[in-house]
Chains A and B, each alone.
Chain A
Amino acid sequence: MPTQTFIVNGEKISVDVEDDVRLLWVLRDILGLTGPKYGCGLDVCKACTSHINGKAFNPCAVQVKDVGPTDEITTIEGLPATVGRDLHPMQEAWLEVDVAQCGYCQPGQIMAAVAKVREKGGALTQADFDEIRNICRCGTYDRIREAINAGAAKM
Chain B
Amino acid sequence: MTATRRPISGKADAEPRRPMPYPRPAAPDVVPADEEKHGPGRRGFLGWVLAAPTLMVAAPMAGGLIAPPRADAAIPSLPAPSDLFDLGDLQDLAAVATSNLITVVVHEDGTASFALPRAEVGQGITTSTTMLIAEELDLPMDKITVTLADARPELLFNQLTGGSNTTRSTYHAIRSAAAVARARLVEAAAAQWGVAASTLTTSDGVVRGPGGRTAGYGSLTKAAASSTLTKLQVAPKSADEFAVIGTSRNRVDALAAVTGRKTFAMDLKVPGALPTMVARPPTINGKPKSVANLAAVRAMPGITDVAMISTGVAVRGRTFGHCIDAVRALQVAWGPGTEDGKSDATVLAELKRAEIPLLVPGVPLLTKTVEGRFTFRFRSNSPLETGCAVADYRADGIEVWSSLKVPIVFKEQVAAKYGVALDKVKVHVTEGGGSFGRHLFSDTALEAVEASKAFGKPVRLMWHRTDDFRQGRTHPMATSRIRATYLAGNVLTFEQRHTSVSTDFTHGLGEMLTAFSAKLPGGNYTFAQSIFELTANVPYNYGVTTQLLNEVDLGFNTGSMRNIYSPDVCTAQELITDQLATIAHKDPYTFRRAFLKNARGRAVLDKVAQVGNWGRAMPAGTAQGIAVHSEYKGYCACLVEIDCRPETVNRKIREAYTGPRVTKVVFAVDVGLVINPTGLEAQMQGGIMDGIAQTLTSSLHLENGAFLEGSWDHYFYTRQWNVPPEIQVVIMPSTSTSPGGAGEFGVAASMAAVACAYARATGKLPTEFPINHNEPLAFEPLPTVPPIPQSPTNGLDSAY
Contacts and interface: CB of A to CB of B under 8 A. Distances in A.
Interface in B263-277: 263-264, 266-267, 269, 275
B353 interface: no
B456 to A, nearest CB: 21
Interface residues of B, number: 79
Interface stretch (B38-46, B118-126, B514-522, B575-583): B118-126
B279 to A, nearest CB: 15
A98 interface: yes
Interface string A54-94: 01111111110010000000011100100000010001001
Contacts of B262: 103
Interface in B774-798: 789, 791-796, 798
A139 B688 CA distance: 8
A145 B254 contact: no
Q: Give the dominant DSSP class at B's interface.
A: loop
B653 interface: yes
Contacts of B685: 139-143
B383 to A, nearest CB: 5
A135 B717 contact: yes
A152 interface: no
Nearest to A93: B258
Contacts of A95: 250, 254-255, 258
Interface size class of A (residues with CB under 8 A): 35 or more
Nearest to B433: A104
Contacts of A32: 269
Nearest to A43: B792
A129 to B, nearest CB: 5
Contacts of B302: 18, 21
Contact of B686 (A25, A36, A138, A149): A138
Given A38-B386, A42-B711, A116-B800, A103 B253 contact: yes
A142 B718 contact: no
B717 A137 contact: yes
A110 B258 contact: yes
Contacts of A36: 260
Contacts of A135: 384, 712, 717, 719
B795 A60 contact: yes
Interface string B667-689: 00000000000100011011111
A28 B385 CA distance: 15
A119 B717 contact: no
Interface string B297-324: 0000110000000000000001111101
Contact of B384 (A34, A137, A142): A137
B720 A55 contact: no
A136 B257 CA distance: 13
A133 interface: yes
Interface string A12-40: 00000110111011101110101111111
A97 to B, nearest CB: 8
Contact of B799 (A21, A40, A57, A94): A57
Contacts of A55: 799-800
Given A42-B713, A52-B796, 16 more contacts: A21-B319, A29-B275, A37-B264, A38-B266, A39-B712, A43-B795, A57-B796, A59-B795, A76-B258, A100-B257, A102-B384, A103-B257, A103-B431, A107-B257, A140-B686, A142-B724
Minimum-distance CB pairs A-B, first 9? A35-B260, A139-B689, A102-B122, A61-B795, A103-B257, A104-B433, A25-B319, A76-B260, A139-B686
25 contacts: A21-B321, A37-B385, A38-B320, A40-B712, A41-B465, A41-B791, A62-B795, A76-B258, A77-B259, A87-B259, A94-B254, A98-B251, A98-B254, A98-B682, A100-B257, A102-B383, A103-B256, A103-B258, A103-B433, A107-B259, A130-B721, A138-B122, A138-B384, A138-B434, A139-B689
